[in-house]
């Protein structure tokens, strides 16, 4: 039996998908949904921040957190909380839209918790790629921040789309039919 490396299997799948051009249309759809989600994320962030800044109990809790961890001011913790809320809203919307549009054939336009949590993981992986690329480009390569951020967005797109295409919404092999009992 010949052993094929994980790299070779992934490379073969990528080349096969690209040759059918379906992957390019999916990448465009994924990108357009990303644009919509960026707007959703931004609006949800503004709403969450406004609501949290008007909540005395939220501000008191954030003050306690910032005092306990010595990790910033109440305003900093408020920003983190608002950003987390908006990210959860956006990643959920992205999962629903990508399940229904970009990867409709693979998902059957059905939502599944397991796929959702895998999609969330891909978002976290994309964030890590984005942040790492931003830091390397700005701090090591000394690129202007706007250009470093552009490279970071591209890196996170590649990671998010790849994980979504090859992991979250991959076509699952159908189990072989068992022995028939026609008697």
Q: What is the pLDDT of residue 182?
A: 42
pLDDT tens for each residue of the chain, 183 residues long:
677 888 787 777 766 665 555 777 888 888 899 889 888 888 998 899 899 999 999 999 999 998 898 877 888 788 888 878 888 998 899 999 999 988 888 888 889 998 899 889 888 998 888 888 888 888 889 998 889 888 888 888 889 888 888 888 877 666 554 454 444
* Confidence (pLDDT) at 14: 64
CB under 8 A, 24+ apart: contacts of 106-115: 106/169, 106/170, 106/171, 107/169, 115/168, 115/169
Please choose, from the candidates 68, 30, 54, 51, the residue with its C-alpha nearest in 3D space to the C-alpha of residue 161. 30
The DSSP line for 34-56 is: HHHHHHHHHHHHHHHHHHHHT-H
pLDDT at 176: 53
CA distances from 140 to 119, 136, 155, 159 (A): 30, 5, 16, 21
Give the other-Cβ count within 10 Å of 174's Cβ: 6
Domain borders along the chain are 15-109, 112-172
Spatial neighbors of 105 by CB under 8 A, at least 6 apart, are 171
Task: Check if the beta carbon of residue 97 is closer than 8 Å to that of residue 36.
Answer: yes
In this structure, the dihedral spanned by the alpha carbons of residues 120, 10, 33 and 41, taken in order and rounded to 10 degrees, is 30
């Amino acid at each position: 039996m010949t052993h094929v490396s994980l790299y070779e299997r992934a490379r073969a799948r990528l080349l096969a998908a690209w040759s059918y051009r379906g992957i390019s249309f999916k990448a465009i759809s994924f990108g357009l949904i990303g644009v919509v989600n960026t707007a959703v994320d931004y609006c949800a962030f503004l709403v969450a921040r406004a609501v949290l800044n008007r909540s005395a109990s939220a501000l008191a809790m954030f003050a306690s957190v910032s005092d306990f961890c010595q990790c910033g001011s109440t305003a900093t913790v408020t920003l983190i909380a608002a950003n987390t809320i908006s990210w959860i809203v956006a990643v959920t919307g992205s999962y629903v839209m990508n399940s229904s549009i970009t990867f409709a054939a693979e998902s059957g336009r059905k939502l599944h918790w397991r796929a959702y949590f895998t999609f969330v993981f891909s978002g976290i992986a994309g964030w890590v790629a984005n942040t790492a690329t931003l830091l390397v480009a700005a701090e090591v390569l000394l690129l202007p921040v706007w250009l470093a951020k552009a490279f970071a967005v591209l890196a996170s797109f590649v990671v998010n789309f790849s994980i979504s295409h090859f992991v979250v919404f991959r076509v699952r092999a159908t189990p072989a039919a068992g022995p028939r009992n026609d008697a």
